[in-house]
Chains A and B, each alone.
Chain A
């Protein structure tokens, strides 16, 4: 693949942008006086800022590159990852869960588990989360290094080190405030950088109707009904009729319920920005405000993917083709970068590249600050040195930033050496995460659930996920990292039509097991006295009053509006 040429103006734009990123960290340095300032922004963020940071933390490499790639691979059905797999969970966390997270004054998600259940449940969650964030941030770095190497011919080490140093500088200086400010900046940059791409691509493809016609060719060439790439729900009746290879029940339960609620409601990476809000009402509005741009993101990231595959199908006429991997399949991960190079002249190209790098960095910075908080409060302060002065923990937080970034760089290099190790780790984390939402759901809404119940439930859920994965295989896969590794003992019990279907069902089994085991063990163990659970469990907590707020600031009203808008989008692209 030939490299994209960039000129002086593009470098100038990149330098101005990175100058600002560092400048923000520098300007915030003088406000970092206590550990709460550093880890929780002193709880000072207005709702719109924490809301944009909430989605921006998730706008990392997986989002922009991954969703663009999925748009090319699966078409508009990728929007299920937003309209089913994100929005409902974001509304739920804002309306129902935030009163307990914010109201309990927990400083992190694991700390809530400690308040609600017990020390061992917190420890299990804190340690698995800490390890996971380091590897996610390493994967972000690795993906970016690889991308810039292929796209611009920059050296892998140069890209990895320079971006790690930039993220280090601004998180070291300004903590979570700096990460949040930069995430908001990055949000606007990503929107500004990709909007013209969508406009130009759509114009080139002949508008939405022209694009639909081109996608008919793509769909029929793959053996689907002509409109299978431009309709999201119509073909979900049978896994073989849609490009995703899933059926609606597995999609709604696995993605829409277990995976999505598990991620948006319990992952401290996103929840941390809501905890930084200046009051309860702002904390509850954070995910709801975030949901509004989130529901329109498919037009920004999925649409370019759909345009790219449509143009590739007729590359003779259009002169655009996605690159091919050595094994003969299309390299979908290059979708968005290729589109940038194809349509943007020098100047705009600089903005596009800055947006792309911003997306990697915001994902990485979110991971680093989440790691900082969980390490310092939930591991260091809980198990290593308990009663130190606040300045000590502020210092530990700064040192942890350095450690976290170095560990991420190491993980990035590890990925270059052993690609399978990364796949394996991600798989293990999926096993750890899938049951989590059951623990939170029971903890927040059932006062009878106990610490022993939660702990055994989590372990059982993880074991169930691993067992299910080990006994099933997606179609056309060999036993190993894709599943079926217990096949030698018991035989492969079930074949799924696609890897995605297998993932969704792994999550469903894990969640159900965790739910049932927590329930049974809780009934058999001694509950905590009710007075200890005030502010932590729904039935024992007074609901925050909303009477004094204007309607557009009430979480429940906002939640209904957000859900109604999402429903309309689903119907339009049915």
Chain B
């Protein structure tokens, strides 16, 4: 099939990861009381963005 699936997966997770990361950076620390005081948005947003970028790069590399 003409579209390598790693490209949309990579893009989606990069966008979602950056959204979370950005929100985690500016949000009020009080909202992290339910998550045991851990800013999961910041940490997990970074993980998701890193996963997204890796997927995207793999998808790109095979194409060329």
- 8 Å CB contacts to B: which residues of A335-377? 342-348, 351
Q: Which residues of B contact A346 (CB under 8 A)?
A: 23, 27, 31
Contacts A200-B38, A345-B31 given; does A12 touch B19 at CB 8 Å: yes
Q: Which residues of B contact A347 (CB under 8 A)?
A: 19-20, 23-24, 27, 40-41, 45
Contact indicator per residue, chain B 1-39, by CB within 8 Å of chain A (1) or not (0): 111010011011101100110011001000110111010
Inter-chain contact B1/A345, CB cutoff 8 Å: no
Distance of A177 Cα from B8 Cα, bound (Å): 14
Q: Which residues of B contact A12 (CB under 8 A)?
A: 19
Inter-chain contact B3/A27, CB cutoff 8 Å: yes
Chain A interface category by residue count: 20 to 34
Distance of A382 Cα from B48 Cα, bound (Å): 47
Contact indicator per residue, chain A 185-198, by CB within 8 Å of chain B (1) or not (0): 10010001000100
Inter-chain contact A348/B12, CB cutoff 8 Å: no
Within the complex, the shortest CB–CB distance from B11 to chain A, in Å, comes to 7
Query: Is A13 part of the contact surface with B, judged by Cβ < 8 Å?
Result: yes
Distance of A24 Cα from B34 Cα, bound (Å): 35
Inter-chain contact A344/B3, CB cutoff 8 Å: no
| Residue with the highest number of chain A CB atoms closer than 10 Å, among B1, B34, B36 | B1
Inter-chain contact A203/B1, CB cutoff 8 Å: no
Neighbour of B19 across the interface among A13, A23, A27, CB < 8 A: A13
Inter-chain contact A192/B48, CB cutoff 8 Å: yes
| Residue with the highest number of chain B CB atoms closer than 10 Å, among A31, A192, A200, A344 | A192
Contact indicator per residue, chain A 1-27, by CB within 8 Å of chain B (1) or not (0): 000000001001100110010011001
Contacts A24-B8, A192-B48 given; does A348 touch B41 at CB 8 Å: yes
Contacts A31-B2, A192-B51, A347-B20 given; does A20 touch B38 at CB 8 Å: no
Inter-chain contact B19/A28, CB cutoff 8 Å: no
Within the complex, the shortest CB–CB distance from B26 to chain A, in Å, comes to 10
Contacts A181-B8, A184-B9 given; does A16 touch B15 at CB 8 Å: yes
Q: Which residues of A contact B44 (CB under 8 A)?
A: 192, 196, 348, 351
Inter-chain contact A28/B3, CB cutoff 8 Å: yes
Inter-chain contact B36/A344, CB cutoff 8 Å: no
Distance of A346 Cα from B19 Cα, bound (Å): 12
Contacts A20-B11, A31-B2, A184-B5 given; does A345 touch B35 at CB 8 Å: yes
Which applies to chain A's interface (DSSP): helix, strand, loop or mixed? helix
Distance of A204 Cα from B36 Cα, bound (Å): 7
Query: Is A35 part of the contact surface with B, judged by Cβ < 8 Å?
Result: no
Q: Which residues of A contact B9 (CB under 8 A)?
A: 184-185, 188
Distance of A17 Cα from B15 Cα, bound (Å): 9
Neighbour of A20 across the interface among B12, B19, B31, CB < 8 A: B12
Inter-chain contact A343/B16, CB cutoff 8 Å: no
Contacts A12-B19, A200-B40 given; does A343 touch B35 at CB 8 Å: yes
Inter-chain contact B8/A17, CB cutoff 8 Å: no
Query: Is A44 part of the contact surface with B, judged by Cβ < 8 Å?
Result: yes
Closest to A341 in B: B34
Q: Which residues of A contact B3 (CB under 8 A)?
A: 24, 27-28, 31, 181
Distance of A196 Cα from B20 Cα, bound (Å): 13
Inter-chain contact A200/B36, CB cutoff 8 Å: yes
Distance of A16 Cα from B8 Cα, bound (Å): 12
Neighbour of A344 across the interface among B8, B12, B40, CB < 8 A: B40
| Residue with the highest number of chain A CB atoms closer than 10 Å, among B20, B40, B48 | B40
Q: Which residues of A contact B19 (CB under 8 A)?
A: 9, 12-13, 16, 347
Neighbour of B12 across the interface among A17, A31, A343, CB < 8 A: A17
Distance of A208 Cα from B61 Cα, bound (Å): 41
Inter-chain contact B23/A342, CB cutoff 8 Å: no
Distance of A24 Cα from B1 Cα, bound (Å): 12
Inter-chain contact A185/B12, CB cutoff 8 Å: yes
Inter-chain contact A192/B13, CB cutoff 8 Å: yes
Distance of A17 Cα from B13 Cα, bound (Å): 9
Query: Is A42 part of the contact surface with B, judged by Cβ < 8 Å?
Result: yes
Query: Is A41 part of the contact surface with B, judged by Cβ < 8 Å?
Result: yes
Inter-chain contact B12/A16, CB cutoff 8 Å: yes
Within the complex, the shortest CB–CB distance from B20 to chain A, in Å, comes to 5
Q: Which residues of A contact B24 (CB under 8 A)?
A: 347
Within the complex, the shortest CB–CB distance from B47 to chain A, in Å, comes to 8
Q: Which residues of A contact B15 (CB under 8 A)?
A: 16
Distance of A348 Cα from B63 Cα, bound (Å): 33
Q: Which residues of A contact B8 (CB under 8 A)?
A: 20, 23-24, 27, 181, 185
Neighbour of A45 across the interface among B1, B16, B23, B35, CB < 8 A: B1
Neighbour of A351 across the interface among B20, B27, B51, CB < 8 A: B20
Neighbour of A200 across the interface among B23, B35, B41, CB < 8 A: B35
Contact indicator per residue, chain A 26-56, by CB within 8 Å of chain B (1) or not (0): 0110010000000001101100010000000
Known contacts A9-B19, A192-B44, A348-B41, then 9 further A-B pairs from the complex at CB < 8 Å, ordered by chain A residue: A9-B23, A13-B19, A13-B20, A16-B12, A27-B8, A31-B2, A42-B1, A44-B1, A177-B1
A-B contact pairs, 25 of them (CB 8 A): A13-B16, A16-B16, A17-B16, A20-B12, A42-B1, A45-B1, A177-B1, A185-B5, A185-B8, A188-B9, A188-B51, A192-B44, A192-B48, A196-B44, A200-B35, A204-B36, A342-B34, A343-B36, A344-B34, A345-B31, A345-B41, A346-B23, A346-B31, A347-B19, A348-B44
Among all A-B residue pairs, the 8 with the closest Cβ atoms: A347-B41, A345-B31, A347-B23, A20-B12, A44-B1, A348-B40, A9-B23, A181-B5
